[in-house]
Amino acid sequence: MTVISGAQSLARKSGFVGRDVIHRWEGNPIVSLQDIPFGCNTVFNAGAVKFNGQYLLLVRVEDQCGRSIFALARSEDGYHFVVEPEPVMTPAEKGVFGKYEECGIEDPRITPMDGTFYVMYTAYSHYGPRLALAKTDDFQDFERIALISEPVNKDGALFPRKIGGRYVRFDRPSVGSTGHIWVSYSDDLINWGGSEVAMTTRPDHWDCSRIGASAPPIETEHGWLEIYHGVKETAAGPIYRLGVAMLDLEEPAKVHGRAAIPILTPREYYERVGDIPNVVFSCGAILEERTQEVKMYYGAADTCICVGTAKLDALIERCFEQEGSERAERENPANNGAMCSAT
């Protein structure tokens, strides 16, 4: 017989479960293989946005050939989604995009700006991953703009406004198995430079092996709130968790606060068991303006998509709760990029 505690009972009645800052919805997962109306192997993650009163997810799905493609899911409430019957974006077959998308398109992140929805994603080929940018006005037709990085680069996320007259993005160039979060700038969304490292891995932390941007940053009065993923390599394989940091509004390579502990860590069965176990990985979050609640959509175990919520204030507070660990890292650059040992 299973004994349910009072706290567990209350959580179930409220519709949310969890012991993290992000409160998992009890109905998770919200999109899994069984919800995809066309043949596919698995479901990874999704970019998220509100459009014409609906919640939209641009879902990364692996087709039966083993390539990642994008499907579109719609919802009226942000929890119950219906996936459209055909993919909305597939790897290009011709030209320069065809060459560098031959193995798939991955990890879409959606940024609304000036009436257009920009999708920054990873173009994957046997030459390695590199960032690409597309745009849409209706989520039915997508126009590719450019390939916007050299390999190996992933985890691109476009800021929702210009800073100092320039477009800004997060990206994650890799050095071997290690990767840090960088900020890059552009005048035209095509040519990027002025790159600066913004956040590094932290030795002996949960994000000691590599990190990368998750959702596009959310602007607050305190700075840019960034939900990011961090990886710790262990003897049993990598563990992907989610953290949060606050960056300067006008100089986003400056970190004002960074949580010492994750806001979401794999705990539930659907996060710990799947194609890639022990993974929570987000590409999109939606701020509800009226309630100031953040709905965060995340992939679990590279097998399904889930949703969790947190008050914006709670995420902001977490950034500054143990600010000393981030300050110590900045003041001791010799530690930057250090790897933790497997456990």
What is the rounded average pLDDT of the residues 46-58?
A: 98
pLDDT > 90: percent of the chain:
87
Token pair recorded at residue 139: 């989520």
| pLDDT of amino acid 324 | 46
> Each residue of 175-225: pLDDT tens digit?
888 999 999 999 999 999 999 999 999 999 999 999 999 999 999 999 999
Is the model more confident about 147 or about 14? Answer: 147
| pLDDT of amino acid 240 | 98
CA atoms within 13 A on the CB side of 280: 27
| pLDDT of amino acid 165 | 98
> Each residue of 261-309: pLDDT tens digit?
999 999 999 999 999 999 999 999 999 999 999 999 999 999 999 999 9
Confidence label for 15 from pLDDT (cuts 50, 70 and 90): low
Q: Which domains does the chain have, with CATH numbers?
A: 29-335 (2.115.10.20)
DSSP H or E run through 8: helix 6-14
Report whether pLDDT(48) > 80: yes
> Each residue of 309-324: pLDDT tens digit?
999 999 999 999 864 4
> Each residue of 140-151: pLDDT tens digit?
999 999 999 999
| pLDDT of amino acid 17 | 55
- What DSSP letter does each residue of 132-191 carry, written as one string? EEEEESSSS--EEEEE-SPSSEEEEEE-SS-BTTBEEEEEEEEETTEE-EEEEEESSSSS
| pLDDT of amino acid 102 | 97
Confidence label for 328 from pLDDT (cuts 50, 70 and 90): very low
| pLDDT of amino acid 53 | 96
Neighbours of 79 (CB within 10 A): 16
Token pair recorded at residue 117: 């929805």
Mean pLDDT estimate for the chain: 91
293-300 and 304-311 strand pairing: antiparallel
| pLDDT of amino acid 140 | 95
Report whether pLDDT(332) > 90: no
Report whether pLDDT(13) > 70: no
What is the pTM assigned to this prediction? 0.90
What lies within 8 Å, CB to CB, of 47 at 6+ separation is 57, 58, 108, 109, 110, 119, 283, 284
